[in-house]
Amino acid sequence: MPAAARASRMAGVKGYDAMSYGEGFADVYDEWYEGVSSVTDTVTLLESLVPARPLRVLELAVGTGRLALPLARRGHLVTGVDISPDMLAVLAANDPEGLVTVVIGDMVDAMPPGPFDVVLVAYNSLFMLTDPARQAACFSAVAGVLAPGGAFVVEAFVPSDPPRAGSDVALRSMTASSVVLSVTMTDPLRQTVDGQHVELRDGEPVRLRPYSLRYSTPDELDTFAADAGLSLDRRLEDVAGEPFDPDASPRHVSVYRRPA
């Protein structure tokens, strides 16, 4: 990663930069986020989108390979992009056979050439681009590497309406020897959520795990897609295929298409 990118500071969490999330979460990501969505349902959804076999799949913010590895083990040709060496080190340990092709860099500037049948960005990872212009640029970069008729799948939360504002402290988990607190600050004008997971373990130093997001509404994502020449094919509530309710669904899985 270029030194300039490392030095670029995110607003909201003083000292936070593009590497901070991976440094903070790589060692616990598989344990903490294993069940955030169904891997089986994700694989089934992606396989339903394009008839080609094997699929040429690109996962943005591939992390430790929670989704990329099951896809690769089904014989698909999977490439993963991630900016974090810490995350990719865990992926390498999880993938001793080297099934996933890895590209180090962010989701805009390090876009591999493709073409890809499916591009996936899962579980709010698009929002780790904390500038809306960078999110829009990501859509444009994806459009440039999608095969004709290919699909861009975005999984993200639906922002509260009206938006929440201010700070919050909540219990994330607790055992007999540990407590994890979630501390957040939400700014609805900037559409940002800055936070820390504060991990307290008996007899150990306090561990801080920071994150910073800039969220976009589904309508904003649709605009980014349209500006990039992509169209909304379908919007689901989750990877299992539950119908999306714009008034009630807390999350969405949006599938955008490049024209065939």
Residue range 185-230, pLDDT digits in tens = 999 999 999 999 999 999 999 999 999 999 999 999 999 999 999 9
For residues 73-89, give the mean pLDDT. 97
Average pLDDT of the chain? 93
What is the structure's pLDDT at 161? 81
Is 50 exceeded by the pLDDT of residue 9? no
What is the structure's pLDDT at 18? 84
Structural domains of the chain sorted by starting position, each given as residue range(s) with its CATH number in brackets: 11-159+217-257 (3.40.50.150), 166-213 (2.20.25.570)
What is the structure's pLDDT at 14? 81
For residues 155-167, give the mean pLDDT. 90
- Rounded Cα–Cα distance for residues 249 and 251 (Å): 6
Give residue 10's pLDDT band: very low, low, confident or very high (50, 70, 90): very low
Give residue 35's pLDDT band: very low, low, confident or very high (50, 70, 90): confident
Give residue 12's pLDDT band: very low, low, confident or very high (50, 70, 90): low
What is the structure's pLDDT at 6? 37
Q: What percent of the chain has pLDDT over 70?
A: 95
For residues 109-125, give the mean pLDDT. 96
pTM of the model: 0.92
Give residue 4's pLDDT band: very low, low, confident or very high (50, 70, 90): very low
Residues 6+ apart with CB under 8 A from 215: 124, 127, 156, 157, 159, 191, 192, 193
Backbone dihedral angles phi then psi of residue 134, each to the nearest 5 degrees? -70, -35
| Residue 207, strand partner residues | 199
For residues 48-63, give the mean pLDDT. 97
Q: What are the structure tokens assigned to 204, written together?
A: 């150990």
Is residue 40 within 8 A of residue 48, CB to CB? The reply is: no
Is residue 139 within 8 A of residue 152, CB to CB? The reply is: yes
